[in-house]
Amino acid sequence: MARTPEFIPLSDEAVRAVAGANSRHAALIEDAFGVLVETPGGGVSLSGDTKSRGQAKKAVQTIADRADQGLEINEADVRVAIGNARTGQTAGGGSNLPVGRRGQVAPKTAMQAEYLQALGKCELVFGLGPAGTGKTFLAVAHGAGLLLRGEVDRLIVSRPAVEAGERLGFLPGDMNEKVDPYMAPVWEALTDILGADQLRRRREKGEIEVAPIAFLRGRTLSHAFVIVDEAQNATRLQMKMVLTRLGEGARMVVTGDPTQTDLANPRDSGLAHAVGLLEGVKGIGVTRFSSADVVRHPLVERIVRAYDADAAMTGRNV
């Protein structure tokens, strides 16, 4: 340990974010870099060797910057800040996203920042990768921002209804009642960003619409932001159909994990096929997330890595 600790002046809000409840965040930083983190007042004190203190300082400053923007800091944010400090990556910003109930929506990893840049400049974006990387949430946040700013007239969310062997026709209720269970992650994201009341009002006005992919057939989607979620469960024919629905002033993002499909014949999945055909085409962006971008519970990242390692050894994806 260095004899003279390094003191980093921070706002009171930033100090609380770095420390965390019951000093949990500080403990994560200490374990990651082998330093001692103290909060004597007015800032954070770091003790350790030069290299360790330098990396820990980067993580502390990332957390502090987010806290000063009014963003809620949780353990996932701290772990991402630690990972970025180790690799030298930065999350980036300037995404022009709306403010959610937990504060300004912002990218937490460098790949998320790259994804948001692609959403801003490309008419069609593919967001590929495992669960927990934020690809659906950020797509919803981007689309909600476009809708709130009047840059699109509608936000349309679609998903193949092929999960767990279930079919819409066997489910009770009207169309919304049939579709909503499949859209739970999307509704959670929209509720977080817009609030329940505004989400309900915009749904009633037709500004926010959900529909299974099959129900988009024959339509031209103009002046809309279209999200096709869980696209690994769309067949090649469905994927071609939905991609060609784009009309004037429309944009689309297609998200999914090509290694996880519920189709009876995985080779019929249209997601990987479409990316293989369209990557490099003008106006189309492709962002690939990995287990390093998982921002859920830290155990999720380790689970994804274990499955990836097994797939690499056996050549089979579950």
Q: Looking at residue 245, what is its pLDDT?
A: 92
β-strand pairing of 99-100 with 103-104: antiparallel
Assign residue 66 the CATH number of its domain. Answer: 3.30.1370.10
Pair (117, 198) in one structural domain? yes
Mean pLDDT score, 12-40: 93
Question: How many residues are there in the chain?
Answer: 318
**Domain presence at residue 92:** no
**Domain presence at residue 97:** no
> Which of 56, 87, 118 is the last residue in one of the domains?
87
Pair (39, 175) in one structural domain? no
> Which of 35, 53, 87 is the last residue in one of the domains?
87
Assign residue 112 the CATH number of its domain. Answer: 3.40.50.300
Percent of the chain's residues with pLDDT above 70: 84
Q: Looking at residue 317, what is its pLDDT?
A: 64
Q: Looking at residue 100, what is its pLDDT?
A: 60
Does 117 have pLDDT greater than 80?
yes
The parent domain of residue 271 ranges over: 105-314
pLDDT tens, 33-77? Answer: 999 999 988 999 999 999 999 999 999 999 999 888 888 888 877
CA–CA dist 135, 142 (Å, integer): 11
164: its two tokens: 């767990």
Pair (128, 217) in one structural domain? yes
pLDDT tens, 260-283? Answer: 888 888 888 999 999 999 999 999
**Domain presence at residue 305:** yes
Burial class of residue 73, CB neighbours in 10 A (0-12, 13-18, 19+)? buried
Pair (244, 216) in one structural domain? yes
159: its two tokens: 């998903």
- With CA atoms as reference, report the closest residue to 162 among 234, 86, 266: 234
Pair (122, 50) in one structural domain? no
Does 169 have pLDDT greater than 90?
no
Q: Looking at residue 91, what is its pLDDT?
A: 58
**Domain presence at residue 45:** yes
**Domain presence at residue 20:** yes
Q: Looking at residue 71, what is its pLDDT?
A: 80
Q: Domains in the chain: how many in total?
A: 2
Pair (193, 306) in one structural domain? yes
Pair (134, 60) in one structural domain? no
- With CA atoms as reference, report the closest residue to 65 among 86, 41, 90: 90
Pair (207, 67) in one structural domain? no
CA–CA dist 221, 231 (Å, integer): 18
Pair (110, 21) in one structural domain? no
Mean pLDDT score, 77-90: 76
Pair (119, 214) in one structural domain? yes
Pair (29, 177) in one structural domain? no
Does the pTM surpass 0.85? The reply is: no
Pair (67, 109) in one structural domain? no
> Which of 53, 87, 121 is the last residue in one of the domains?
87
Does 238 have pLDDT greater than 50?
yes
More confident residue, 294 or 38: 38
